[in-house]
Amino acid sequence: MVMIRAFLIVSLLLPFCVSATDFPRPVALEPAVDFWVKVYTEASTSQGYMHDDENLSIIYQTLDVPADRRVRERRVRGVRDEVAASLRALGQGKRRDLTPMETLVLAAWPADTPSDEFTRAAHRVRFQLGQSDRFRSGLVRSGQWKPHILGVLERHELPPELAVLPHVESSFNATAWSKAAAAGMWQFMPSTARRFMRVDHVVDARMDPFFATDGAARLLKVNRELTGTWPLALTGYNHGATGMVRAARTVGTTDIDVIVKHYKGRAFGFASRNFYASFLAALQVDSRAEDYFPGVVMVEPVLYDATEPSDFISASHFADALGISLEELRQHNPALMDAVWSGDKYIPAGFEVRVPEGQIDRSMDEALASLSIVSRYNQQKPDRIHRIVQGDSLSGIAQQHKTTVSRLMTLNGLRSHRIRAGQTLILPGSVQSKSLSADHIAMTRAHLQNAPLEYVIQQGDSLWSIARRFNVSTQELVVWNGLSSRAYLQPGQKLKIATSG
């Protein structure tokens, strides 16, 4: 049984304290850091700041905005145009008979600002939605995940400060999705995620903080090795590590403040330029949470039991064995995709399945062992594919294959009904004859006869892989067969597998 336990944050911080120089706070970035502290703590998502997108100390107006996105966008666009028009007027030298907006804009700048600066600033007016309510919610949610994150960071020998990064990415929301298809608490893009975890129509590890945190730690470690500094490594989390190496080479320095000011890479936009400053702001607010959000209480972490089935298993059968509903099992295993819960796919062999500690009246391993042979399979249900041709529609394909449009969309991760010729769609799995694990059938027969099973070693087998296959330990294999734990296994050699105590 694998026990997933939370550790006290204080105890985790002690072994790997990091010098503040790893996360420098250059004077030139202070206006940006202060700006993001205001965004995170002062303005809610029903407000925002109309500001200059280069000099973040210049805030023209705090704007109240409606919840409806379209109405909000119209209001923001109208005020932005009014601010830009005022800047152009000031750029032309206007200083008398000012409109209320021109007066407001002029007051946002130092008294000695030259006219041509106003003209340039007219192209830099930007709106930033407030985040204070989201940040507070993120602080509450962080209680569940911070202990685990700190443990993972320690295991990878990374600084604990990195544990606040989900504030910037998702407000510790494990179900977050971005318009660009970044997903999960760590907001991985699919292409980046696949370097560190499984992402497909059966398992999307981005959606499970336990899996995604390990992937994020490894990505950050790679970024640090490539870029040489933590400011560049963190900015690389948004912009890409190779992009930051290119930026440093172009500007001629690894100093983040100099790069932010002078690098003009095509993709190095507002989000990339401000990523490190927003991280520093999140670090400041998180470390002084009570000052910024008096009375905020972080949730207590849920402790989990876990097990890894050695066969492919039906989710519904396993839920029954655990004595919980399929929906409860799904809630605690968010990396498993809809295809698993609909029965189109099995829970993959070797996948770590979890339930909260104490939720069931026996261990996970005992529940797994209680599954009958007809609930175990030696392979995944195969994919069925439909190749789209000119004139196809989702509704037509669904009708043709006796399924629904919504099921096709969830199985294929589609965000809209748009499809194109040449694209392939994965179809819900057809009813398959049960493919029983030959090893488990043999194991059961041997057990009924109260006799040991003989297993013939195949090319590529190891003691570890055989032990996993038969749900025994390598030490048991060694004892039963009089082997050394370092024994070299020959294909064709036979091993005895005991079947009863």
Is the model's pLDDT at 318 over the cut of 60? yes
Tokens coding 494? 């036979």
Model pLDDT, residue 459 = 62
Model pLDDT, residue 483 = 74
First to last CA, the chain: 20
Domains and CATH numbers, the chain: 2-27+133-292 (1.10.530.10), 46-129 (no CATH), 304-377 (no CATH), 384-427 (3.10.350.10), 438-497 (3.10.350.10)
Is the model's pLDDT at 501 over the cut of 50? no
Model pLDDT, residue 192 = 93
pTM, full prediction: 0.78
Model pLDDT, residue 10 = 34
Band (pLDDT 50/70/90 cuts) for residue 17 is very low
CA torsion, ordered 6, 229, 237, 212, to nearest 10 deg: -20
Residues 64-91: tens digit of each pLDDT: 999 899 999 999 999 999 999 999 999 9
- E strand or H helix that includes residue 49: strand 47-52
Model pLDDT, residue 475 = 67
Is the model's pLDDT at 423 over the cut of 90? no
Which residue bears the tokens 């960071």? 153
Cα 192 from Cα 485, distance rounded (Å): 38
Band (pLDDT 50/70/90 cuts) for residue 439 is low
Length of the chain: 501
Cα 49 from Cα 187, distance rounded (Å): 25
Q: What is the mean pLDDT of residues 5-16?
A: 35
Q: What is the mean pLDDT of residues 217-241?
A: 97
Neighbours of 80 (CB within 10 A): 16
Phi/psi of residue 49, each to 5°? -115, 130
Which residue bears the tokens 């032990």? 467
Is the model's pLDDT at 441 over the cut of 50? no
Model pLDDT, residue 482 = 74
Cα 439 from Cα 499, distance rounded (Å): 12
